[in-house]
């Protein structure tokens, strides 16, 4: 369980107090005993209501059960939890189902944290309780949307994701986790994983409405999937294959600067420098502060022999990212080509200050020294 959630549940322990029974109590018709030497948890509100009515001596087993449910969920290592679990099962062998029903009521009334607590205890009493396990994950999703605290919101989201993945293992014939996981993956930018989850859902589910919804989502993310495949191929050196995929989605995404950047990068690595310049310039028009594209334009113009234009772009890039060794070195090399040795040395000294062992900087320093000695 996420640490932030554990802390939140520990806070809820303030909602219970312990009472001690004066004697052992046998529950009629049940093979279980409330023992006087074991403190019994009870919700503070239930006890205060009893006191206000002058009826604090006739606490019900149900009221004690509510305290046990919270304690088992919020403090899993509490020393009396094994007794409480046995007691609950002794009262009703289907107690996990009873608790799940209460949890669903809480969820329907938007008492989401209480619902989570009850689903958690139901799952601990019976790990095979699918209703508890699945609805617990759904409640976590709802809590992630409603939580005002950013850390807690992320914790609920991570917990939901973890529970959904666990469901695919523990209940491998149950398809709904794949429906939910698709959205989690998509929201995290993992579009290929989202595609695989939703395709699994479509192939194995008989929920026509949700299948239609998922099919619409697959259409929406199809370009993102192609983009992920294309840019990964470009980064892996498969420039032609990656470029072909990226160009196939350009028409419908002409203002997507990330796409244009990788198209340009593929063209540059294929030696098609004029096309690379065209696309890097498109990126800059959309995102003027994109230092990496400015640097790439400098590299293109250097390769084309346009040294003054290269230096201009390197300087712009450096203004955006002053402590970038790569840009400093590129700028230095352009200045060496133009004969501006002092300026080149200034750039390289700064790069060396940032990382004395940077191999690119050391190589550029070597080139500078050769130029100076000639």
Q: Kindly state the tokens that stand for 142.
A: 């709802």
Q: Structural domain boundaries of the chain?
A: 3-170
pLDDT tens digits for range 331-349: 888 888 888 888 888 888 8
The predicted pLDDT at position 56 comes to 45
Q: What is the phi-psi region of residue 39: left when phi exceeds 0, alpha when psi lies from -120 to 50, beta otherwise?
A: beta
The predicted pLDDT at position 59 comes to 58
The predicted pLDDT at position 193 comes to 93
The predicted pLDDT at position 108 comes to 96
CA distance 168 to 177: 6
What is the pTM for the complete model shown?
0.74
The predicted pLDDT at position 54 comes to 45
pLDDT tens digits for range 39-85: 888 888 766 555 444 444 555 677 788 899 999 999 999 999 999 99
Q: By CB neighbour count within 10 A (0-12 exposed, 13-18 middle, 19+ buried), where does 192 fall?
A: middle
In the predicted model, residues of the chain with pLDDT beneath 70 are 46-60, 374
User: Do 328 and 348 touch, CB atoms closer than 8 A?
Assistant: yes
The predicted pLDDT at position 47 comes to 62
The predicted pLDDT at position 52 comes to 46
CATH of 3-170 among 2.60.90, 1.25.40, 1.10.3470, 3.40.50: 1.25.40
For 126, the enclosing helix (H) or strand (E) is none
Contacts of 164 (CB under 8 A, 6+ apart): 137, 177, 180, 181, 184
The predicted pLDDT at position 151 comes to 93
């Amino acid at each position: 369980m996420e640490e932030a959630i554990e802390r939140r549940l520990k806070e809820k322990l303030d909602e219970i107090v312990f009472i001690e029974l004066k004697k052992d109590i046998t529950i009629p018709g049940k093979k279980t005993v409330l023992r006087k030497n074991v403190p019994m948890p009870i919700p503070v509100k239930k006890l205060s209501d009893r006191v206000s009515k002058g009826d604090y001596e006739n606490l019900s087993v149900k009221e004690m059960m509510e305290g046990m449910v919270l304690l088992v969920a919020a403090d899993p290592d509490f020393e009396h939890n094994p007794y409480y679990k046995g007691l609950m099962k002794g009262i009703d062998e289907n107690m996990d189902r009873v608790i799940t029903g209460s949890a669903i009521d809480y969820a329907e009334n938007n008492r989401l944290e209480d619902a989570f607590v009850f689903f958690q205890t139901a799952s601990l009493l019976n790990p095979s309780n699918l209703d508890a396990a699945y609805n617990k994950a759904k409640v976590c999703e709802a809590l992630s949307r409603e939580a005002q605290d950013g850390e807690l919101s992320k914790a609920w989201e991570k917990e939901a994701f973890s529970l959904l993945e666990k469901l695919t293992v523990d209940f491998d014939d149950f398809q709904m986790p794949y429906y939910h996981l698709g959205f989690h993956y998509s929201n995290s930018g993992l579009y290929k994983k989202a595609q695989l989850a939703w395709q699994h859902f479509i192939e194995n589910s008989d929920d026509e409405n949700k299948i239609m919804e998922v099919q619409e989502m697959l259409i929406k993310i199809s370009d993102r999937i192609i983009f992920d495949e294309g840019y990964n191929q470009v980064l892996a050196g498969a420039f032609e294959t990656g470029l072909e995929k990226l160009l196939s989605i350009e028409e419908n995404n002409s203002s997507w600067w990330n796409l244009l950047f990788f198209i340009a990068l593929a063209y540059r690595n294929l030696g098609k420098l004029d096309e690379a310049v065209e696309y890097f310039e498109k990126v800059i028009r959309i995102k003027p502060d994109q230092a990496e594209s400015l640097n790439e334009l400098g590299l293109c113009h250097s390769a084309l022999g346009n040294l003054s234009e290269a230096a201009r772009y390197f300087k712009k890039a450096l203004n955006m990212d002053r402590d970038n060794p790569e840009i400093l070195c590129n700028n230095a090399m352009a200045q060496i080509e133009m004969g501006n040795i002092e300026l080149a040395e200034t750039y390289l000294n700064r790069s060396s200050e940032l990382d004395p062992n940077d191999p690119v900087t050391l190589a550029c320093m070597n080139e500078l020294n050769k130029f100076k000695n000639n």
